[in-house]
Chains A and B, each alone.
Chain A
């Protein structure tokens, strides 16, 4: 049964995904486009960041026979917890908890980098925060409600 995965800013319905209780098995070939993570020799990588797979967990998280990864288990290891709606075969992953693989933003030293994002305007044109590097930005958030 296909599963819809809401991870980061991605939404993808993966035909070969499999829900098994709290486990969400995703074909390795579908992992990157549905979650941004890609299995590499050094671990699971997303952009420039790589997370080594703990040797004692690797065989729990990867079903080599089926070529699938339990993304719910891996994300939970990072502190990004999932909510699963069984009726709609949908999984939504939250942001990473503090102290569990959070970026240097809160735990490091030096300047705190502003998380990048891309969003559309009224005409559908995408704007990225990073495109305005070199200028001071007053990021003002509001709502109609």
Chain B
């Protein structure tokens, strides 16, 4: 079964229109790497869609971006730890004026998503016999430990969200900024902070100039999403 969790400090107000979306544009299919044959967005989800205002699940599973997923077997054991759920960096090659993504980049994005979904289906069908279900040793090897800075960053983020919800915007931004500074690779911290800096951004994609500057600062060798280590996955796209 699917268990969806939204990391949105604004709660239901931010996510309700996403859970039951209107018709999606071709841009969203290209941007997200969806193939129309894989998705039917006309129907509301039949699985639980939960709201995680303080990013608890992100903290428990050490997630730093969305979309991210974890595969959990019938015994409550992790068979694939947190990794991008078929997401890739192709959006970084989008023309920000025309919103066009180069066709070859879009194809890599689509292939990344398709391989991921096919692997998921393979595991659903075959369980522990699936080649995509990782042995416990490999699950541990792929799990990142928490450093001192990680613990302080999480505490700072949580405090920032709490202060924001109490209307203490300035104090909130200080602690949210601390969290971003301590964990610059945590895009959930960064983007949630941007949204909480302006109530008008609630429920929005929040691709502000600050966001794009941070994305650009990654440079050619930086990664927004870690490459997914999965059999059959295409290599990350590189502009020619």
Contact = CB atoms under 8 A, between A and B. Distances in A.
A90 B168 CA distance: 12
Interface string B147-171: 1101111111011001100101001
A22 B61 CA distance: 28
Q: How large is the interface on A (under 10, 10 to 19, 20 to 34, 35 or more residues)?
A: 35 or more
Interface residues of B, number: 83
Contact of B158 (A6, A117, A129, A135): A6
Contacts of B76: 113-114, 116, 129-130, 133
Interface in B174-225: 175, 178, 188, 191-192, 194-195, 201-206
A82 interface: yes
Interface stretch (B65-73, B89-97, B103-111, B232-240): B65-73
Interface string A8-41: 0101000000000000000000000000000000
A112 B143 contact: yes
Contacts of A144: 6, 8, 10, 14-15, 18, 202-205
Interface of B: 1-8, 10, 12, 14-16, 18-19, 48-52, 54, 56-61, 63, 66-78, 81, 85, 120, 123-124, 127, 136-137, 139-140, 143, 145-148, 150-156, 158-159, 162-163, 166, 168, 171, 175, 178, 188, 191-192, 194-195, 201-206
